[in-house]
Chains A and B, each alone.
Chain A
Amino acid sequence: DIVLTQSPALAVSLGQRATISCRASESVRSSMHWYQQKSGQQPKLLIYGASNLASGVPARFSGSGSGTDFTFTIDPVEADDIATYYCQQSRNDYTFGAGTKLELK
């Protein structure tokens, strides 16, 4: 299995930039995707193919990276962005990171 490693939590202030990293145990090329999940809801696709914005997603969200190192950014952070964010690879089967909980400072 390809293991995806994310930091467990990140505290940010409203209006600031939030950056979440995801490291893969082997190359996934650009087959990395990012989801937002709020309590009691299903995951929502935000970024696909490492850097492509999903339909209807605000341009405050962005992604970058390839191979094994990926970054997801929210700039600026709004109150509605408080949630858990997951990376997911589709290069070799399908695995998810453990999630990064975005919290307010």
Chain B
Amino acid sequence: QVNLQESGPGIVKPSQPLSVTCSVTGYSITTSYYYWNWIRKFPGNKLEWMGYISYDGSIYYNPSLKSRISITRDTSKNQFFLQLNTVTTEDTAVYYCARHRGYNPFDYWGQGVMVTVSS
């Protein structure tokens, strides 16, 4: 059974970096040909795909975030990570990790972690 679980700080101050971890159990993040994504949901319910790290370590970011985002992984712990730099209140959202393959949908999601940007 594939399970994804996010963990994060809860509150981040403006201009600071936001860091969230996704811990995956039941499936190796190095298994071909799966991609491991970060997606966020804003308070107005809009969903935004942020980027992914693939089974072979390649990364791809949403162009709208490219200057601020970094996705990395630790294969020994079967985890991947999101860092979003220089956050503002507009980055307040629920952050989800999710899996997909090719043109296929996001088939497994974590429960999400709420991150609030506030001083």
Contact = CB atoms under 8 A, between A and B. Distances in A.
Interface in B32-58: 37, 45-49
Contact of A90 (B62, B96, B100, B111): B100
B100 A42 contact: no
Nearest to A44: B109
A96 B37 CA distance: 14
Nearest to B62: A93
Contact of B109 (A42, A84, A86): A42
Contacts of B48: 96
B49 A41 contact: no
B47 A45 contact: no
Contacts of B103: 31, 90-91
Contacts, number: 52
Majority-rule SS of A interface residues: loop
Contact of B107 (A54, A84, A91): A54
Of all A-B residue pairs in the complex, the 4 with the closest CB atoms, nearest first, are A33-B105, A94-B49, A96-B47, A42-B109
Interface centre among A43, A48, A49 (most CB of B within 10 A): A43
Interface string A23-36: 00000000101010
Interface of A: 31, 33, 35, 41-45, 48-49, 54, 84, 86, 88, 90-91, 93-96, 98-99
Contacts of A44: 109
A88 B105 contact: yes
Contacts of A31: 103
A49 B102 CA distance: 12
B104 interface: yes
Given A93-B62, A96-B47, A98-B45, A45 B105 contact: yes
B31 to A, nearest CB: 18
B46 A98 contact: yes
